[in-house]
Amino acid sequence: MTETFSIERRKLIRAYGGKVLLTPAAARGTGMVEKARELAAKHGWFWASQFENPANPAWHRQTTAPEILRDFAGRRLDYFVSGWGTGGTLTGVGEVLKVARPEVKVVGTEPAGASLLGGKEWQPHKIQGWTPDFVPAVLNRKVVDQLVTVEDTVARDTSRALAQKEGIFAGISSGATLAAALDVARTAPEGSVLLAMLPDTGERYLSTFLFEGVNEGSDEVE
């Protein structure tokens, strides 16, 4: 994984008995993928190849999308909001919604400084799990009806607010997705129903800028 990824990710993998190989930040996500490809070829290891493997979006067509359709059977749904890393969720769910619920608008979300679907040049960002420096082969751009970008600090603040106000301890990409959904909601027709995909937990980001400045010592109580 890229050396900029959180310490928690490394420790989780090692806790399961795995080894962690860090690739230089300067090599970006492309460098991480190329190193994985190289090692798999050299050692004969299984490589999931999640950015290229059609099983990735297929799994979401078979599981995530049907769950959404069941939960919203006979109920209104106007927007589905999701970020993308590999593109599996956005593609798999989006493709099913286009057929089963064509009235639903699929909203793709990206970092403001790395909006590849928006035609911008990739720049480093702090929304881990979102938008590598390339558009994955499995990502179907055609499912996206609307694109919303989110600043790093807005993602952070929204994630923190979600924990403090709603008791949902989600990660930074979830905060970014919710921020995008709130942005859509501001101009959506009254009564609109939005579904935002929150795929991660805040426990994987305790060492990152998501919790910078949070007191690690004792609080004072009178």
pLDDT tens per residue, range 26-72: 999 999 999 999 999 999 999 999 999 999 999 999 999 999 999 99
Q: List own/partner pairs for 152-155 with CB under 8 A and 24 or more apart.
A: 152/111, 152/112, 152/113, 152/125, 152/126, 152/127, 152/209, 154/179, 155/111, 155/126, 155/127, 155/179
Q: Which two tokens stand for residue 146?
A: 């609307």
Q: What is the pLDDT of residue 172?
A: 95
The answer, yes or no, to whether residue 118 has pLDDT greater than 90, is: yes
Query: How far is C-alpha 130 from the chain's CA centre?
Result: 5
The mean pLDDT of 124-146, rounded to a whole number, is 95
pLDDT tens figures, 97-116: 999 999 999 999 999 999 99
- pLDDT greater than 90 at residue 219: no
Residue of 86, 66, 194 whose CA lies nearest to 140: 86
What H or E segment, with its residue span, contains residue 146? strand 146-150
Q: How many residues are listed for the chain in this entry?
A: 222
Give the pTM: 0.91
pLDDT at 213: 85
* Domains of the chain and CATH, by start: 7-43 (no CATH), 55-204 (3.40.50.1100)
